[in-house]
């Protein structure tokens, strides 16, 4: 990649606010992803990280705020432009989201079939090249149901990168895998970034994996960005909530007896505090 | 009151969704190639195989049975007037205008409408629909349009087949019971049946095809809550599709026979 004089971020999120019904989920998220970096979005369950990812993917429409991918506002551009933009991004979903009616090879080839006019032989070769990258060579004909958890994640990665995207999104790439396989997936993400100069956004709650692969970490908590910085900056951050998260300490909830009683009797009026 | 209001609002929303999906699916079919996202003929073919060809055995069995049943009942009720020989007219009209499209529609709703709802529902909870969207592949173009086109071709085709088989079934019973030869029965059928009667049935079956697919898709798309949700919506889609078919059938018959 050539060094541009001014480095434009590949992803830019500004003041993103979103609600599910009356409940506020994201409270004004602002962040940017630089070209060629691995940004890890970290946070506990319910921190809003999956919701943020869905916004980055354009699967949800925000209440307010903007999401720019490769310089385009994904909530403003036409369906056609969005479809073309999506060919420059790849997504590996948490559960793989492989199409269960198609073989592994057909799954990986699908973006090529739908978006290019290559002949089948060429597409098969391109798909098999990506399968080599993720060490799935020779598993062409298997159906997704016949794959192990680690293989599903790797197949999903292969499908995500088959179009050589500029941005790769990974949702919990190593969750639910044994430590060895999880480490393999982490190495694979690093390899993909180094070999193909992709920008990578990883959503995870696995600390070990986050520290290993991240260039920068964004810590999300209760819909807010608690901290955004390099691994060292995050480790050194004095914020107690971050330190609790890093050291796996349980947060002590402050107990207000009156509020507690109101909750028990079902009369709690406000679910949300600022 | 609150519940009733909410249920009504949901019902209206579902009909709206169905209408939108129908227009989008037709739009992709006609103009998808212009946006370089054509509806694949191979996908339509796969759906057609699934909806049509694989349903042939069961449609055949039920059509023979229905034909014979109509002949039995027809002869029985006409014998009250000593007019058994008129059974051919009754059978010919009721098979082509009513029973063939209705039975075929109900069968396909049970076989394919439910399968469609289950497939889409499973795809939704596995994030496969999301995966399509983020790949830049429109799910309506990729999943709904082929199912709609496949069913729209195969359901009327199955209905024609059911017409033939049911009339054959009736003919076999009539020839044994009334001692009428099959060729005489056929000649009588040809002179009695109008193209209009067959078209009446085929028109209905095309409508049923649209209903089955839309009900299946809307229910599949509304699945929430895992495997149990898929099961619930699949059952719901069969019940809704069959109800929609029967009600539409009555309205269609009412409008067209009175004008």
Average pLDDT over residues A113-123: 91
Residues A139-195 have pLDDT tens digits of 889 999 999 888 999 899 999 999 999 999 999 888 878 888 888 889 989 988 898
Q: How confident is the model at residue A252, as a pLDDT? A: 62
CATH of residue A111: 3.40.50.300
Number of domains in chain A: 1
DSSP letter at A97? Answer: -
Q: How confident is the model at residue A245, as a pLDDT? A: 77
Other beta carbons within 10 angstroms of residue A164's beta carbon come to 13
B99 Cβ contact list (under 8 Å, min separation 6): B66, B70, B166
Min Cα distance A84 → chain B (Å) is 7
Q: How confident is the model at residue A274 (pLDDT cuts 50, 70, 90)?
A: very low
Name which of A231, A257, A256, A254 is nearest A242 in CA terms: A231
- Residue B128 touches chain A, beta carbons under 8 Å: yes
Given an 8 Å threshold on Cβ–Cβ distance, is A95 in contact with B122?
Answer: no
Please check the confidence at residue A271 and state whether its pLDDT lies above 60. no
Between A47 and A120, name the one with better pLDDT: A120
Please, which residues 33-72 of chain B have a Cβ atom closer than 8 Å to chain A?
35-37
Tell me the DSSP string of A118-183: --HHHHHHHHHHHHHHTT-TT-TT--GGGS-HHHHHHHHHHHHHTT--SEEEEESTTTTS-HHHHH
For chain B, the structural domain boundaries read 39-258
DSSP letter at B233? Answer: H
- Residue B136 touches chain A, beta carbons under 8 Å: yes
CA A80, A82, A83, A84 torsion-angle sign: positive
Residues B114-128 have pLDDT tens digits of 999 999 999 999 999
- Residue B138 touches chain A, beta carbons under 8 Å: yes
Average pLDDT over residues A78-97: 90
Q: How confident is the model at residue B106 (pLDDT cuts 50, 70, 90)?
A: very high
Dist. CA B254–CA B259, nearest whole Å: 9
Distances (CA, A) of B132 to A30, A74, B150, B189, B221: 27, 17, 21, 51, 14
* A167 bridge partner residues: A89, A199
Given an 8 Å threshold on Cβ–Cβ distance, is A97 in contact with B133?
Answer: no
- Residue B230 touches chain A, beta carbons under 8 Å: no
Coil, helix or strand for A202?
A: strand
Q: What is the number of helices (H) and of strands (E) in chain A?
A: 10, 10
For chain A, the average pLDDT equals 86
Between A91 and A222, name the one with better pLDDT: A91
Average pLDDT over residues A206-219: 89
- Residue A91 touches chain B, beta carbons under 8 Å: yes
Dist. CA B130–CA B124, nearest whole Å: 7
Please check the confidence at residue A198 and state whether its pLDDT lies above 80. yes
- Joined together, the tokens standing for residue A31 give 């962040």
Q: Which residue of B has its CA nearest to A165?
A: B135
Min Cα distance A114 → chain B (Å) is 7
Please check the confidence at residue A247 and state whether its pLDDT lies above 80. no
Name which of A116, A121, A133 is nearest A168 in CA terms: A133
Q: Say if residues B220 and B124 touch (Cβ distance below 8 Å).
A: yes
Dist. CA B119–CA B105, nearest whole Å: 20
Of the candidate ranges B111-115, B172-176, B224-228, the one whose mean pLDDT is the lowest:
B224-228
Average pLDDT over residues A99-113: 92
- Residue B187 touches chain A, beta carbons under 8 Å: no
Given an 8 Å threshold on Cβ–Cβ distance, is A58 in contact with B127?
Answer: no
Nearest by CB to residue B130, choosing from A59, A80, A115, is: A59
Q: Which residue of A has its CA nearest to B143?
A: A99
Between B49 and A267, name the one with better pLDDT: B49
**ipTM value of the model?**
0.84
Name which of B124, B43, B115 is nearest A106 in CA terms: B43
Q: How confident is the model at residue A33 (pLDDT cuts 50, 70, 90)?
A: very high
Min Cα distance A240 → chain B (Å) is 35
Q: How confident is the model at residue B257, as a pLDDT? A: 84
Dist. CA B53–CA B161, nearest whole Å: 11
- Residue B24 touches chain A, beta carbons under 8 Å: no
Q: Give the percent of chain A with pLDDT over 70.
A: 93
Average pLDDT over residues B41-48: 92
Given an 8 Å threshold on Cβ–Cβ distance, is B35 in contact with A83?
Answer: yes
- Residue A95 touches chain B, beta carbons under 8 Å: yes
A27 Cβ contact list (under 8 Å, min separation 6): A17, A222, A223, A224
Q: How confident is the model at residue A244, as a pLDDT? A: 79
Between B198 and A79, name the one with better pLDDT: B198
Q: How confident is the model at residue A1, as a pLDDT? A: 47
Dist. CA B219–CA B240, nearest whole Å: 9
Residues A144-155 have pLDDT tens digits of 999 988 899 989
| Within a domain: A272 | no
- Residue B127 touches chain A, beta carbons under 8 Å: yes
Task: Classify the phi-psi angles of A21: left when phi > 0, otherwise alpha if psi is within -120 to 50, otherwise beta.
Answer: left
| Within a domain: A34 | yes
Given an 8 Å threshold on Cβ–Cβ distance, is A57 in contact with B135?
Answer: no
Average pLDDT over residues B63-86: 91
CA A62, A65, A67, A72 torsion-angle sign: positive
Q: How confident is the model at residue B207, as a pLDDT? A: 95
CA dihedral A49, A54, A58, A59 (to 10 degrees): -160
- Joined together, the tokens standing for residue B160 give 């024609």
Q: Which domain holds residue A238?
A: 11-264
Given an 8 Å threshold on Cβ–Cβ distance, is B131 in contact with A84?
Answer: no
Residues B170-220 have pLDDT tens digits of 999 999 988 888 999 999 999 999 999 999 999 999 999 999 999 999 999
Dist. CA B216–CA B211, nearest whole Å: 8
Given an 8 Å threshold on Cβ–Cβ distance, is B127 in contact with A97?
Answer: yes
- Which residues of chain A have a CB within 8 Å of the CB of B126? 95, 97, 100
Average pLDDT over residues B142-157: 95
Q: At CA B23, angle to CA B19 and CA B24, rounded to 5? A: 115
- Residue A89 touches chain B, beta carbons under 8 Å: yes
| Within a domain: A273 | no
CA B242, B244, B249, B254 torsion-angle sign: positive
Q: How confident is the model at residue A251 (pLDDT cuts 50, 70, 90)?
A: low
Task: Classify the phi-psi angles of A48: left when phi > 0, otherwise alpha if psi is within -120 to 50, otherwise beta.
Answer: left
Min Cα distance B126 → chain A (Å) is 6
Q: How confident is the model at residue A269, as a pLDDT? A: 56
Q: How confident is the model at residue A272, as a pLDDT? A: 46
CA atoms within 13 A on the CB side of B248: 22
* A69 bridge partner residues: A11, A72
| Within a domain: A44 | yes
Min Cα distance A57 → chain B (Å) is 7
- Which residues of chain A have a CB within 8 Å of the CB of B123? 99
């Amino acid at each position: 990649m050539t060094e541009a004089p001014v480095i434009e971020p590949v992803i830019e999120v500004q003041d993103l606010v979103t609600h599910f019904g009356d409940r506020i989920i994201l409270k004004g998220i602002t962040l940017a992803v630089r070209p060629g970096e691995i940004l890890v979005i970290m946070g506990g369950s319910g921190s809003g990280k999956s919701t943020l990812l869905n916004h980055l993917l354009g699967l949800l429409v925000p209440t307010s705020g903007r999401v720019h991918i490769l310089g385009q506002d994904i909530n403003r551009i036409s369906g056609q432009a969005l479809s073309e933009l999506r060919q420059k991004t790849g997504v590996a979903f948490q559960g793989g989201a492989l199409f269960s009616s198609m073989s592994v090879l057909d799954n990986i080839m699908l973006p090529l079939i739908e978006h290019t006019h290559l002949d089948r032989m060429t597409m098969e070769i391109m798909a098999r090249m990506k399968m080599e990258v993720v060490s799935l060579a020779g598993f062409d004909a298997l159906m997704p149901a016949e794959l192990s958890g680690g293989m599903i994640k790797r197949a999903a990665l292969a499908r995500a990168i088959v179009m050589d995207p500029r941005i790769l999104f990974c949702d919990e790439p190593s969750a639910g895998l044994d430590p060895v396989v999880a480490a393999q997936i982490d190495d694979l993400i690093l390899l993909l970034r180094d070999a193909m100069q992709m920008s990578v956004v990883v959503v995870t709650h696995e600390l070990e994996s986050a520290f290993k692969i991240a260039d920068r970490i964004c810590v999300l908590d209760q819909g807010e960005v608690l901290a955004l910085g390099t691994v060292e900056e995050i480790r050194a951050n004095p914020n107690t909530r971050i330190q609790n998260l890093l050291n796996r300490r349980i947060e002590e909830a402050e107990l207000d007896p009156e509020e507690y009683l109101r909750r028990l009797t079902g009369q709690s009026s406000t679910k949300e505090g600022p | 009151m609150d519940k009733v209001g909410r249920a009504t609002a949901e019902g209206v929303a579902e009909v709206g969704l169905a209408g939108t999906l129908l227009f989008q699916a037709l739009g992709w079919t006609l103009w998808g190639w212009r946006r370089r996202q054509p509806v694949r003929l191979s996908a339509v073919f796969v759906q057609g195989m699934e909806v049509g060809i694989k349903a042939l055995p069961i449609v055949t069995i039920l059509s023979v049975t229905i034909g014979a049943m109509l002949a039995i009942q027809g002869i029985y009720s006409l014998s009250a007037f000593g007019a058994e020989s008129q059974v051919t007219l009754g059978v010919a009209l009721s098979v082509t205008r009513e029973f063939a499209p209705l039975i075929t529609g109900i069968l396909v709703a049970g076989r394919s409408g439910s399968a469609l709802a289950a497939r889409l529902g499973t795809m939704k909870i596995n994030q496969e629909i999301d995966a399509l969207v983020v790949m830049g592949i429109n799910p309506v173009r990729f999943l709904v349009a082929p199912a709609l086109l496949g069913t729209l071709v195969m359901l009327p085709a199955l209905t024609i087949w059911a017409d033939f088989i049911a009339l054959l079934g009736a003919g076999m019973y009539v020839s044994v019971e009334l001692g009428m030869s099959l060729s005489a029965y056929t000649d009588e059928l040809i002179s009695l049946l109008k193209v209009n009667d067959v078209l009446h049935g085929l028109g209905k079956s095309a409508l049923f095809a649209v209903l089955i697919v839309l009900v299946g898709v809307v229910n599949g798309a509304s699945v929430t809550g895992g495997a149990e949700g898929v099961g619930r919506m699949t059952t719901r889609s069969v019940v809704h599709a069959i109800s929609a078919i029967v009600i539409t059938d009555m309205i269609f018959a009412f409008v067209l026979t009175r004008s």
